């Protein structure tokens, strides 16, 4: 096979509970991932070495050197197989970069699936998940998609049943936010408050809303412990969230470490209207309607 194409989705965190800072500088998390219909495509072509090129939206913001997570994924897969392989990776980008929607992790997952097929390795999902967990906390979820809760650093996944389709609007902000800087700000704010940080717990009401497909209940239970830090670093996100609520969003939240804002809509029509209202009023530079849950990395 000379070329393989994999489609992989973005995610939104419908719950992101962050525990106290650990000695290894990580945090224990309860992280409820939800895959949504904004996709990158990763194309893997035969080559003598592992390289990457990026096309589409946000392409000028994606590194193409050894720091690119898709390159690291392909190299980790080759190392796991115990052989030297090559692949020319072409990423067709539609997921915002450094936007809290796991775009880099999605590309890494896409590279794992694409190179596994291109190189004829035939490795099972369990092996790919193990490699993914070493690459980053969000990469394993990008492989499976759907809705799942991640614990530990977020990489220990349990799939969650979802009783229906949820409709969303995403408003990417100009410029990104580094995950590390948002976590550091979260720690700073907590230390300054002096309050004890509770151990993260899964929200039972959120679980019930997901299981029954109740968008109204889900909207009222969205939560993100990183949101205060993201708003401190990017105060302009506050008015965007407020505007979404004023235009009827059932819930408004910063996605992951931000700065993308996520709005839960009633249905597909409401999502389209909400996206149009956010851009027409200038509350968001751009807004995209999407739905979830959707499948993770898949060959197309």
105 conformational bin, left if phi > 0, alpha if psi -120 to 50, beta if neither: alpha
In 3D, which of 21, 208, 173 has the Cα closest to residue 98? 173
User: Residue 55 and residue 67: Cα distance in Å, rounded?
Assistant: 17
Give 228's Cβ-side CA count (13 Å radius): 11
254 is in an annotated binding site: no
Q: Which of 11, 93, 214, 225 is catalytic?
A: 11
How far apart CA 60 and CA 276 sit, in angstroms, is 26
The annotation status of 105 as a binding-site residue, yes or no, is yes
Does residue 11 carry a catalytic annotation? yes
Strand ranges in 114-186 using DSSP code E only, listed in sequence order: 147-151, 156-159, 166-171
103 marked as binding residue = yes
Is residue 82 a known part of a binding site? no
98 is in an annotated binding site: yes
Is 138 labeled as catalytic in the residue annotation? yes
Q: Is 262 annotated as a binding residue?
A: no
Question: Under a CB-based contact definition with an 8 Å cutoff, are residues 93 and 40 in contact?
Answer: yes
Residues in the chain: 300
Crossing angle of helices 103-118 and 69-81, rounded to 10°: 40
Task: Find out whether 106 is annotated in a ligand binding site.
Answer: yes
User: Which residue among 40, 93, 107, 138 is the active-site one?
Assistant: 138
Q: Could you list the residues known to form a binding site for ATP, using ranges.
A: 96-106
Catalytic residues: 11, 138
Q: Could you list the residues known to form a binding site, using ranges.
A: 96-106
């Amino acid at each position: 096979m000379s070329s393989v194409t994999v489609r992989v989705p973005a995610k939104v965190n419908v719950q992101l509970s962050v525990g106290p800072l650990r000695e290894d500088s990580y945090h224990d998390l309860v992280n409820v991932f939800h895959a949504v219909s904004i996709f990158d495509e990763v194309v893997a072509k035969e080559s003598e070495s592992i390289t990457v090129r990026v096309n589409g939206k946000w392409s000028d913001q994606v590194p193409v050197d050894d720091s690119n997570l898709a390159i690291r994924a392909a190299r980790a897969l080759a190392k796991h197989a115990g052989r030297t392989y090559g692949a020319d990776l072409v990423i067709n980008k539609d997921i915002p970069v450094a936007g809290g929607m796991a775009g880099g992790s999605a590309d890494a997952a896409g590279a794992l699936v694409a190179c596994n097929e291109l190189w004829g390795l035939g490795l099972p999902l369990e092996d790919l998940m193990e490699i993914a967990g070493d690459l980053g906390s969000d990469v394993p979820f990008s492989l499976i998609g759907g809705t799942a809760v991640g614990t530990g650093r977020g990489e220990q996944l349990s799939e969650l049943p979802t009783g229906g389709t949820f409709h969303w609007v995403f408003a990417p902000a100009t410029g990104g936010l580094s995950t590390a800087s948002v976590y550091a700000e979260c720690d700073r704010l907590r230390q300054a408050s002096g309050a004890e940080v509770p151990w993260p717990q899964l929200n039972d009401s959120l679980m019930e809303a997901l299981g029954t497909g109740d968008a109204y209940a889900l909207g009222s239970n969205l939560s993100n412990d990183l949101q205060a830090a993201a708003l401190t670093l990017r105060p302009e996100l506050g008015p965007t969230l407020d505007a979404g609520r004023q235009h009827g969003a059932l819930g408004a939240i910063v996605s992951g470490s931000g700065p993308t804002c996520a709005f839960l809509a009633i249905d597909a029509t409401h999502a389209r209207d909400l996206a149009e209202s956010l851009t027409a009023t200038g509350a968001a530079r751009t807004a995209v309607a999407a739905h979830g849950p959707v499948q993770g990395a898949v060959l197309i």
